Amino acid sequence: DPQPAKRWLAFLRNHREAIAAMDFFTVPTLTFGVLYCFFIIGHDRRRILHFNVTRHPTSTWIVQQLREAFPYDSAPRFLLLDHDAKYGLEVPASIRSLKMTPVRTSIRSPWQNGVAERWVGSCRRDLLDHVIALDERHLKRLLTQYISYYHDDRTHLGLDKQTPTGRARSLEKGTVICQQRVGGLHHRYDWAA
C-alpha cells in the first residue's frame, strides 16, 4: 500500500496521454480590475488546448468553454480540476457528459495539478511580470502571442528540451537572424536560408 503521493504520481505517469487539466489564474489590469484567465492544458506534450479571459467566471461560462475546447468527441479520458467554488455542480456534470472522468485534486494541494501550475508560473515570469494588461481584449491578444511562443519556441526539460509542438533543427547555413516573439520580450534565432 504505497503512500497517497506515490499513488497520485503513478496515476499521472501511467495516464499522461489521456489527461488534461483546467484551472484559472487572475491578472490585474491597468485600472486595478481583475481578469480571470481560464485554460486547459494537455499533460502529454504540455500543449494549451484552450484558453479564454473573462471578468466574471460562472459555471455556465465554464461549461461553454469546455464545449468549445472538446468538440466532436476529441476529449481526453481524464480532466483534472480543483475544488474551486466557480465550478458548482454544472461543471462536473458537463465533464461527464463529454465522456471524460473529472478528477478532483485534494484541497490545498496545488502540486497535484503541477503541469497547470507550472504553466501559470511560466506565463507570469515570461509575460505578465513585464506587461500590464489594459482590458480583456488586450490580455487575450497577449496570451495568444505567448501561447504561440510557448508551443513553438520555448523548450521544456520535461520534454527532453523539446517544444510542445516539436521543433525541427535548422541547417547551419548562412547568417543568423533574430525573430522577435511576444512583442520583443523573447527572441528566436534561426539560420537564414
| Tens digit of each residue's pLDDT (9 = 90 or more) over 23-42 | 999 999 999 999 999 999 99
- DSSP letter at 128? I
Averaged pLDDT for residues 64-78: 90
Bridge partners (DSSP) listed for residue 133? 29
Confidence at 156, pLDDT banded by 50, 70, 90: confident
Contact 18, 101 (CB under 8 A): no
Contact 62, 93 (CB under 8 A): no
Averaged pLDDT for residues 3-19: 79
Instruction: Using alpha carbons, list the distances in angstroms from residue 191 to 24, 151, 152, 171, 176.
Output: 38, 20, 16, 7, 4
User: What pLDDT is stored for residue 193 in this prediction?
Assistant: 66
Q: Of 78, 66, 73, nearest to 12 (Cα)? A: 78
Report whether pLDDT(45) > 70: yes
For residue range 81-93, what is the model confidence (pLDDT) as tens digits? 999 999 989 999 9
Confidence at 55, pLDDT banded by 50, 70, 90: very high
Contact 150, 128 (CB under 8 A): no
Helices (H), the chain: 4-14, 59-69, 90-97, 114-123, 136-152
Averaged pLDDT for residues 129-155: 94
Q: What is the pTM of this model?
A: 0.85
- The helix (run of H) or strand (run of E) holding residue 39 is strand 34-42
Average pLDDT, the chain: 89
Confidence at 1, pLDDT banded by 50, 70, 90: low
> What's the CA gap between 181 and 184, in Å, rounded?
5
User: What pLDDT is stored for residue 2 in this prediction?
Assistant: 60
Residues in the chain: 193
Contact 123, 186 (CB under 8 A): no
Residue 78 CB neighbours (<10 A): 18
Report whether pLDDT(140) > 80: yes
